[in-house]
Chain A
Amino acid sequence: MPYLGGEETVRELRRALSNPNVQSDQLRYRNTILKVIRAMSQGVDMSGLFSEMVKACATVDVVQKKLVYVFLCSYAALNPELSLLVINTLRKDCQDPNPMVRSLALRNMTNLRLPSLVEYVEQPLAAGLRDRAACVRRVAVLGWAKLHNLQASSEIDAAVVNELYSLLRDPDPVVMVNCLRALEEILKDEGGVAINKPITHHLLNRLKECDIWGQCQVLRVLQRYRPQSEDELFDILSLLDASLVSPHPPIMAATLSLFLSLCSGQPAVSLAALERVRGPLLAACGSGSREMRFTALCHIQLLLRSIPGLMGAHYKRFFCGYAEPAYIKQRKMQVLVELVNDENVAMLLDELKGYCTDVNAETAQAAITAIGRIGRSYSDRCLEILTGLLGLKQDHITSAVVQTMRDLVWVCPQCSDTVCFALEGCEETLQDSQGRQALLWLLGVYGERVSSAPYTLEVFIDGVRSEASLGVKMELLTATMRLFLCRPAETQDMLGRLLHYCIEEETDMCVRDQALLYYRLLHCGIEETRKVLQGRRSDPSLGVLIGRPAEPVSQWARSFNTLEPLRQGSIETESVSRGSPEHTMFDPKPNADLSNTLDCSRIEKVHSECVRCPTIPRCSPQSLQAAMQLVNIQTLAFTPPQTLPWRVYLYTHTCLDDAPHSTLILGELLYTGEEPQKAEVHKGSADGGVGAEGIEDDM
């Protein structure tokens, strides 16, 4: 952040730096330089002092040198010509008898990041590889990687590559590991270091000498090795067994990763390795650092996908402490849900119940969602807890409970009686739109069993003018339509009012179109309407929690020990806490339904095309949806998050009100997991007209 008076400071410092009196007094000179660096750290632009600072680097004072180099490396890119002047000093330093000075000079020479200086740097770097002092060799080896990074296109001398390979046998372990790192960088295009049998065995033998960073690097590089025989494979595995149970989580994870890649053809061995890391992983979950705990939890979630029973006996280790941050609590709850079984269910639910009243609303909602998930297997106990929570009359809790109940009913229709009974009266405490949408959905689908349903809807309809949420309005329309089908006498009047308002006064196109659609639908007759609106009420196939098939390890092995498991989590928590998108699931087959209501003969042009999307955008369904709404692409329905294949049904239409022809485009977005994303677009233009081309292809 630049602060005022920056220019003044620069001028003053320049005067001081060029003052011969200051220059001759080493202490004053160094203090002045210190001031320059301090100002630079605070964000003041000091690049104007470059030439003065270049002069200052010719000194015997090592600390002053270091300071000047920090400055020069920061501003070199702005002053490539002046930087040439530094090179001489740096090259002279490379001859210094003190190895510290030599390594410092080499490091900074390569840190200047100026392609124009490469020719001057190569010779000292080559000499550095043969230096007596290990600390110089360490720097020189990485220096070559930096050079290559600077000019990725240029060929690095084969002799250098050979020399780097031979330095893999350097007595200093850090030099060895740095060689691996440098070669990985330089030979990136060829797939990295050549990992053959002698190199592998050499690296494995020296593994113990390295520090944890080095060990992780070696273990990672070895993932590319393919043992030539089963005997060799098992020799390697036994050699690495101690690392597998290492108390350092990074080493443990890197070793497991290596095991999984070495044993990709031997699932039984992989599973045995997973059993073996249970202890160290649990220990990492109790680590003092919350980030490490979080990372361990995310990785445990991966493991559970393949061995659901892995942590069954240790469920108490995932109970939350009071002061733990919300992100850890939420992860722990997700793990707890996976661990539930007949013996521990009572204890687990009791514990989760305690979290439902957490001060952090997100944590409370996550706990309620977790109970709902367990409810798929143990519905009676969970519904009892959920119903009890409604009695607290806290709006965020009620909202989460109603949403959870909706999701539960969708999967377990047998719960509907209890849910219908519990719904009475909870509309008073509901504030947020997600909760109200869930309530409306339930009232629409099970309206005939909730005696007060028409009255509740009437309150909503009376307040529709002041309703801000688009989702609630859409849901209200559908719910009222559905209730009308089963209780026409009580609902007819208010449905009329609602449709009238939505068609005549509503400004939002989506709501208006939906209302018009229903209005026309009613014209087609009550049977037709019923066919469209009363789709499936539940989808038991979404599955009970217990007895889910275990995924093969290969599904996730690649993302193990990377950033990805942590990121997946954040998307997951987002969708859990923001209210699930299941509210759109009432329309299971929108394409089929719509073609029922439209007269197929009037669709002049129907064609479908399938577009493969080469890159998979990493974003949550919510943000995707929001982005598409901006360009007037609306979502009809989508499957719950984390199901594969994941689908979204989309539509868009021309917005000209009185145009004789309009175009309706329906699309399906299909995400099948590992494979590239596929957007399949079916287009149908109703009433004849010119179809707009490929609007959503660029999604």
Chain B
Amino acid sequence: MPNFINTHSYKYYFNILSPLFSSGAPKTIQKPLPEDLKVRTGVVILSAQVLICRNYKGDVDMAEIDHFMPLLMQHEEEGLLCPVISHGNVHFMWIKHSNLYLVAMTNKNSNASLVYSFLYKLVEVFTEYFKELEEESIQDNFVVVYELLDELMDFGFPQTTDSKILQEYITQEGAKLEVAKTKVPTTVTNAVSWRSEGIKYKKNEVFIDVIESINVLVNANGSVMSSDIVGSIKLKTMLSGMPELRLGLNDRVLFALTGRDKGKTVVMEDVKFHQCVRLSRFENDRTISFIPPDGESELMSYRINTHVKPLIWIESIIEKFSHSRVEIMVKAKGQFKKQSVANNVEVRVPVPSDADSPKFKTSTGNAKYVPEKNLVVWTIKSFPGGKEFLMRAHFGLPSVENDELEGKPPITVKFEIPYFTVSGIQVRYMKIIEKSGYQALPWVRYITQSGDYQLRTNV
């Protein structure tokens, strides 16, 4: 997921958060659970031992959590890992974030999707507070964690879960001494719950980012098995007061959004708007109008399930000669407009885990062997549309064969193409109206990037 911190220089840049699920020493946040809609027990954050736990309902014995890690280990060993683990009549529903486990415990036939949503909400809120949610940040901030757990849920029912609002009255500066500082934020009762009054900026600006990720799965004989586009429009608003914004998109997209256009092939599904968008107005006259949250937010997201031509096409020949060597030949072709350029292209080619003595030859860019991931990473800084590049690699194999069965990992590709969207979505205008009548500048940029981009290989 791209993490946007737009700068005023309006320069295109981009960075990748560390993957959501990384392996490592197990640690746990455990959190007791909802029945039906209730989170019943408490929250536990573990790091091989419980870090933090909160019992919301008092009907599940928190000592039950001691069964969680052993069961998890046991299931993992048997290959039967599952997001729900039961012990007696207590069910543990867990998610893993970096190396923490967040566990909800319930003894009722709870609403599973709601529980997982809540756990992810916890992660979201904690991440906004601490930047990284990990064992250290929990330990360093456990006062705030306790406060948040109290505000997020009471008696097993989610209460205030909007981190923007929470941040107004639970602050990390709480650790500093400040007597009687807490005043109720107006937003706890306000009609516009996502924005407080009295925000002021010297220079009023809005940054709009239109980002589309391409997911592609190509099978070994080169046919596209599935492809879709996941798009989102992100905002960074630095506007004073209570501005009213109106976003204009091009007609083609608007038609697709409202489903009025049956003829065209583009069908947007799963369109989500931020809660600030007035849905009734959108349904009536297709204008997207809203009072934006301050700072960064995702205004809308959508998915287009369509056959996309893979923007970077990979042909590969991987020949494995047992006991002697592996020969890899990879051809990458840019299947997009000549005017566009893909940046920071990375083609990741899997190699056997026992390969050694790598040799590379590339027509452009750099190839590097990453033995800990069993990959060759071929990096091309700038890849113009319509061009074709080649990489050859040669590896030695030991004469004693590795008995372990290895999977067939696919080739994956990462890239980003600025100033371009696959769906053709365009921002036509952004009107900003505030009663003080100030002038504000909207900035727009477009990026297409790789999402889950996989090409299966024969070997």
Q: Which residues of A contact B (CB under 8 A)?
A: 1, 26-27, 30, 34, 37-38, 41-43, 60-63, 66-67, 70, 98-101, 107, 113, 133-135, 138-139, 142, 145-146, 149, 172, 174, 177-178, 181, 211-213, 216-217, 220, 242, 247-250, 253-254, 279-280, 282-284, 286, 288-292, 294-296, 298, 316-317, 319, 321-322, 325-327, 350-351, 354, 357-363, 394, 559, 561-567, 569-570, 573-574, 577
Contact = CB atoms under 8 A, between A and B. Distances in A.
A626 B410 CA distance: 42
7 contacts: A177-B157, A181-B155, A283-B303, A286-B228, A326-B80, A561-B111, A563-B93
A27 to B, nearest CB: 5
Interface string B31-49: 0000011100000000001
Interface of B: 1, 21, 36-38, 49-52, 57-59, 78-84, 86, 91, 93, 95, 106, 108-114, 116-120, 142-143, 146-147, 150, 154-155, 157-162, 169, 174-175, 177, 179-184, 188-189, 217, 219-220, 225-226, 228, 269-272, 279, 303, 405-410, 452, 454, 456
B49 A574 contact: no
Nearest to A96: B180
Given A67-B143, A100-B169, A138 B79 contact: no
A239 B270 CA distance: 19
Given A41-B142, A213-B161, A316-B225, A247 B116 contact: no
Given A60-B179, A100-B184, A139-B154, A564 B109 contact: yes
Given A139-B154, A172-B189, A362 B79 contact: yes
A569 B82 contact: yes
B143 A577 contact: no
A247 B79 contact: no
Q: Quick one: which of B50, B84, B112, B158 has the most chain A CB within 10 A?
A: B112
Contacts of A34: 143
Given A34-B143, A247-B270, A567-B84, A146 B454 contact: no
A250 B79 contact: no
Contacts of B37: 181, 213, 216-217, 220
Given A41-B51, A327-B82, 12 more contacts: A98-B183, A133-B184, A134-B189, A149-B58, A149-B59, A149-B155, A177-B157, A178-B157, A247-B270, A291-B116, A322-B407, A570-B82
Contacts of B106: 563
Nearest to A562: B109
Contact of A577 (B58, B80, B225): B80
Contacts of B113: 249-250, 253, 284, 292, 295-296, 561
B447 to A, nearest CB: 18
Given A37-B142, A138-B159, A62 B407 contact: no
A567 B179 contact: no
A176 to B, nearest CB: 12
B270 A280 contact: yes
B174 A41 contact: no
B217 A563 contact: no
Contacts of A178: 157, 159
Contacts of A286: 228, 303
Contacts of B160: 174
Per CB-CB distance, the 9 closest pairs between chain A and chain B, nearest first, are A362-B79, A283-B270, A359-B407, A213-B158, A247-B272, A291-B116, A250-B114, A291-B83, A562-B109
A99 B169 CA distance: 12
Given A135-B188, A292-B113, A319-B226, A360 B58 contact: no
Contact of B271 (A145, A247, A358): A247
Given A43-B49, A294-B83, A321 B454 contact: yes
Contact of B81 (A253, A282, A283, A326): A326
Given A135-B184, A217-B37, A321-B452, A362 B80 contact: yes
B143 A63 contact: yes
Contacts of A26: 177, 179
B27 to A, nearest CB: 13
Contacts of A322: 407-410, 454, 456
B86 A567 contact: yes
A135 to B, nearest CB: 5
A570 B84 contact: yes
B109 A327 contact: no
Contacts of A107: 150, 154
B107 to A, nearest CB: 10
Contacts of A242: 279
Nearest to B49: A1
A570 B80 contact: yes
A488 to B, nearest CB: 43
Given A295-B112, A570-B80, A37 B143 contact: yes
Contacts of A248: 117, 272
Contacts of B150: 66, 107
B271 to A, nearest CB: 7
